Chain A
């Protein structure tokens, strides 16, 4: 998995998405544009309902845009009218987890390359064991996901995605359900994997600290309709560990992001109140 020079440039151009279920226009995304470099860790933060997941689903090929385009290394991923098409070049780690509970960990992790005919069973299993060991998981290959803890499941799922050697890794609030301690452990594993073989990561969260701790770039989005409010470069050296969290620069960036997002969170909250009233 040598990351550099193998693509992964994501380009989002005026992306827009309007849901129109019962004649009521709901603008989820409006004129969103930004680029990521190959091997960049891009984190999108924003209040709930700002269209983060819609954007991720459009990249992944689960959903279609109503305006604008998304490119991956120059090829069109999404544009209005183009049927959504998922692919193993963009692997997703889902918010609620999507390991197949009826298959063993090893089956889950190796199924991608085997089904695509990229690797034989032996080779895939060897690589899977190596990667699982890399994230501190040995001896669980024959278990079913149901008997794993939340933090273990997340790591297995990241390994399953990486086994496909994707150009972009898409993570949709993957650590949301974890307790704070487990979360920090899994975050560090993700950072270690990223530092070893940087590949483009598109990470969604509403946890500001997590966003800055992980990302090269933090994209702050507005409340509905979702637009890009601000892009903040995180110029904190890698490798990073928990000590970074209290560094002066980190705190400075955190204040900047919080200030940007505060008004939006407030607006989202008030909009929610209005919808309930």
Chain B
């Protein structure tokens, strides 16, 4: 019997080692995925260049061209004062990133706590769920006046609005995550003599983790969306503010630079959330990759 089992045990032990980077990169280069990605990005920029810069197609000629925009972005002395080599650029990035980080952190902490409580306690769920469902559909834009009335200064309303969008998403996904945990795990835990606190920390929170991280990804997107909206209305700095300002002063190249920066930051922040999720849920990545 030992002979029958030996190979099974051996293959299972192989999962334990994480794949080294060199092999991962080699695998990536061999697969077709990165080439399609590059092709997709290339096609996008080539179309932009042809439509705007070269052929000046109807309506498209109103847009800033690809070449002037990139030239402005990498210029040491940009025409409109914003490029990779100006402190102004980084001041706007920092203003926005700071707001998003604050808002996202508060939304994550409060959202997960409230979501877990709602999933855990039927009474708490009964008390809060209807209100959540009523407040959730109100668009962030509609909250802007209230936020300005309620919160002091210029910074707090923007962070507050950015927080709000992420907050509801996080609560809802955490709640769904808790409700998704199979009853059998609770039964097993009770048989094994877990206290209610142990059930909370060893069953409910890790069990809801996959849903929570899906929620956090969406929440991150929602953060950037409402950040820009509220910066346009009440900001003095930040990327959202800058988009509107450059439009106002007809600095279209800079407007494109700011938009691209928003896109990159959004992509980067989502990736960070995803990486954090994979780190925290090694049991799941092993499960998905271990085949």
Contact = CB atoms under 8 A, between A and B. Distances in A.
A and B are partners in one complex rather than unrelated chains = yes
Interface of A: 60-62, 86-88, 90-92, 94, 96, 98, 100-103, 111-112, 115-116, 136-140, 142-149, 151-152, 160, 164, 185, 188
A105 to B, nearest CB: 10
Interface in B180-196: 182, 184-185, 187-195
A96 B188 CA distance: 12
Contacts of B193: 87-88, 112, 115-116, 164
Chain B interface size range: 35 or more
Contact of B283 (A96, A146, A160, A164): A146
Contacts of A112: 192-193
Given A60-B187, A101-B287, A185-B5, 18 more contacts: A61-B190, A86-B191, A92-B188, A94-B184, A94-B187, A96-B184, A98-B187, A100-B203, A102-B281, A102-B283, A140-B12, A143-B13, A145-B283, A146-B284, A146-B286, A146-B287, A147-B290, A151-B8
Given A60-B191, A111-B202, A144 B1 contact: no
The binding surface of chain B is classed by DSSP as helix
Contacts of A103: 202, 206, 283
Q: Is the interface of A mostly helix, strand, loop or mixed?
A: loop
B124 to A, nearest CB: 22
A225 B265 CA distance: 64
Interface centre among A60, A88, A98, A151 (most CB of B within 10 A): A98
Nearest to B291: A147
A115 to B, nearest CB: 5
Nearest to A100: B185
Interface in B1-17: 1-2, 4-5, 8-9, 12-13, 15-16
A185 B6 CA distance: 13
B207 interface: yes
Max chain B CB contacts within 10 Å: which of A88, A136, A145, A151?
A136
Which 4 pairs from chain A and chain B are nearest by CB? A146-B287, A144-B283, A102-B206, A98-B188
Contact of A144 (B182, B190, B202, B287): B287
Interface string B269-282: 00000000000011
A111 B1 contact: no
Contacts of B15: 143, 147
B209 interface: yes
A18 B194 CA distance: 30
Given A103-B202, A185-B4, A86 B284 contact: no
A201 B166 CA distance: 51
B185 A143 contact: no
A147 B203 CA distance: 19
Interface in B144-187: 182, 184-185, 187
Contacts of A152: 8, 12
Contacts of A94: 184, 187-188
A91 B12 contact: no
Nearest to A117: B193
Nearest to A88: B193
A137 to B, nearest CB: 7
A228 to B, nearest CB: 25
B198 interface: yes
Nearest to B193: A116
Given A90-B191, A116-B193, A138 B9 contact: yes
